[in-house]
Structure 1
Amino acid sequence: MGKNVYSSEVKWAVIKDKMTGELSNREIMEKYGIKNVSQIKTWMKWYRENQIYRLNQPIGKQYSYGHGLEWKSEEDKRNSQIEQLKMENEILKKYLELRKELKKK
């Protein structure tokens, strides 16, 4: 039995769904085909501890020095950083929106 590999897009989507609080861990696992709840907890831990570079690392590849992928070009690196920032921005917007709704109640 091999290890499951999840794309960075799936990881960010899971974090976004978890931050909204609309879905339970079980529902998130079913939605994205995640086998174990500890995977969600790990990704959330990385996000909370601002170790977001780890979300882009391939399985079994731990970058102890560079803190991230080895890039083919500076443009690839910039494009990846832009995509990552866009995903973070979406999460923060949703969080602020939910916070605003909760204050109204």
Structure 2
Amino acid sequence: MGKNRYSAELKWSVVKDKLSGQHSNQQIMEKYGIKNVSQIKTWMRWYRNNEMHRFDQPIGKQYSFGHGPVYTSNEEKKNRQIENLKMENEILKKYLEIKEELELKRK
């Protein structure tokens, strides 16, 4: 039995679905083929602790010095940061939409 490898995009999708509050852990696990709920909890902890560099790290690799993978160029690093910020922006927009919906329902 080998370790599962999940892409950074899949990890971000899981975080986005979890933050939306529309899916349970079990539903997310079924949707993305995740075998253990602790994986979702780990990714959420990374997000809450602002450890965005960890979404790109390979299995078993713990970055400490440069806080992230070694990129071949500065452009590649910047592109990856832009993608992460775009995804985080989408998550925050979705959160605000849900917050507004809940406030309207309370009135």
- Indicate whether 1:51 and 2:51 are aligned: yes
TM-score (normalizing by structure 2): 0.96
Q: Which residue in 2 is equivalent to 1:70?
A: 70
Which letter does structure 1 place at the counterpart of 2:23? Answer: L
Give the corresponding residue for 2:39. Answer: 39
Number of residue pairs matched by the alignment: 105
CA distance in 2, matches of 1:36, 1:22: 19
C-alpha distance in structure 2 between counterparts of 1:42 and 1:78, whole Å: 25
Give 1:81 deviation, angstroms: 0.5
Aligned twin of 1:79: 79
Tell me how far apart the structure 2 counterparts of residues 69 and 102 of structure 1 sit (CA, whole Å).
39
Structure 1 residue 61 displacement after superposition: 1.1
- Residue matched to 1:104: 104
Q: 4+ runs of 1 displaced by more than 3 Å?
A: none
CA deviations over 1:13-44 (Å, ceiling 9, x no partner): 00000000101000000000000000000000
Unaligned segments of structure 2, at least 5 residues: none
Alignment root-mean-square deviation, CA: 0.5
**Which residue identity is paired with 2:41?**
K
Q: 2:15 & 2:33 partners in 1: Cα distance? A: 14
Letter in 2 for 1:78: K
Measured after TM superposition, the shift of residue 72 of structure 1 is 0.1
